[in-house]
Amino acid sequence: MSTSHIAFLGLGIMGVGMARRLIGAGFPLTVYNRNRDKAAAFAGSGATVAGSPREAAGNADVVISMVADDAASHAVWLGKQGALAGVRRGAIIVECSTVTPGWIHELAAAATVAGCECVDAPVTGSKSAAAAGELNFLVGGSAEALARIRLVLAPMSRSIVHLGGTGSGTLVKLVNNFVCGVQVVAMGEAMAWLERAGVEQAKALAVLTEGAPGSPLVRLIAGRMTAGDFEPNFRLRLMTKDLGYALREARETGLHLATAKTAYGVFQHAIVAGHGDRDMSAVVEPLRAAGR
């Protein structure tokens, strides 16, 4: 597959870095983005710019999507101008977006009708990891399909984990983001509390980030909250979406995620306060402002 022609759909914060990694690895690449200006920048890098997902997929052995949510994924794959309307029989389609398992199963069924195979391969890692080729791919689908696309994923990845059948990668990604979202809110509340208490912040944060609570995410988010650097690496509104998906999926198994529900409410409040398109660490700002 090292000479495979790749179609890449979606050039947002993550997609830009991923597509550039594929160009750097020498893959023939066609890109599509709803905002054509973002795609135009790739023309000078040797990629072909398509006017629709259908056009992008027409020549591709592997079609990759990295978009915001179920609705955006539905739009790029289905319909008269969707990728599945133009995809070649025998191609592999790869959904890297954070979506719901239900949509993945629907997409896989549509792919079968189109004569191709679907792999769900959402990623962990944010903008810098995408640019550096350090993403972790969480893969659902057949082992045979993964074997066919492994060389395609390799330039974008630090690890590739096969979690099982269709939808399993997507499910684990939602669990991952649920845990991350809860940690971000907890760190935001801790930061606001420390600031109000007036203790020496650097020493207090060292206790948290270097001690038992100090996951890599907590350390990263604490730094952004301290610096007030909310340039988006992972948009706050997308974490809110992921928590909503997680709550819905867990309910279908009879499980009610109490911590996810609380974190979801805090993130929703931050969106109302105008922080939806900032980095998810900006969830601290309404917490800081409360009661002032």
Whole-number pLDDT of residue 2? 56
Q: Are residues 138 and 259 in the same domain?
A: no
Q: What is the pLDDT of residues 81-94, one digit of tens each?
A: 999 999 999 999 99
SS3 assignment for the chain: CCCCCEEEECCCHHHHHHHHHHHHCCCCEEEECCCHHHHHCCHHHCCEECCCHHHHHCCCCEEEECCCCHHHHHHHHCCCCCHHHCCCCCCEEEECCCCCHHHHHHHHHHHHHCCCEEEECCEECCHHHHHHCCEEEEEECCHHHHHHHHHHHHHHEEEEEEEECCCHHHHHHHHHHHHHHHHHHHHHHHHHHHHHHCCCHHHHHHHHHHCCCCCHHHHHHHHHHHHCCCCCCCEHHHHHHHHHHHHHHHHCCCCCCHHHHHHHHHHHHHHHCCCCCCEHHHHHHHHHHCCC
> What's the predicted TM-score (pTM) here?
0.96
Confidence of residue 292 (pLDDT cuts 50, 70, 90): low
Whole-number pLDDT of residue 291? 63
Pairing of strands 92-95, 62-65: parallel
Measure the CA–CA gap between 178 and 261, rounded to whole angstroms: 10
Number of folded domains in the chain? 2
Nearest to 201 by CA among 177, 174, 228, 175: 228
Cβ atoms of 130 and 22 within 8 Å: the answer is no
**How does the average pLDDT of the chain come out, rounded?**
96
- Has residue 47 been placed in a domain? yes
Q: What is the pLDDT of residues 233-247, one digit of tens each?
A: 999 999 999 999 999
Whole-number pLDDT of residue 210? 97
- Has residue 1 been placed in a domain? no
Q: Give the other-Cβ count within 10 Å of 253's Cβ.
A: 7
Of 165, 193, 218, the domain-final residue: 165
- Has residue 112 been placed in a domain? yes
Cβ atoms of 16 and 73 within 8 Å: the answer is no
**Domain that residue 73 falls in:** 6-165
Look up the CATH number of the domain holding residue 42: 3.40.50.720
Q: What is the pLDDT of residues 164-209, one digit of tens each?
A: 999 999 999 999 999 999 999 999 999 999 999 999 999 999 999 9
- Has residue 54 been placed in a domain? yes
Cβ atoms of 158 and 136 within 8 Å: the answer is yes
- Has residue 89 been placed in a domain? yes
Confidence of residue 3 (pLDDT cuts 50, 70, 90): confident
Whole-number pLDDT of residue 93? 98
Whole-number pLDDT of residue 52? 97
Of 131, 146, 165, the domain-final residue: 165
Q: What is the pLDDT of residues 42-78, one digit of tens each?
A: 998 889 999 999 999 999 999 999 999 999 999 999 9
Whole-number pLDDT of residue 1? 46
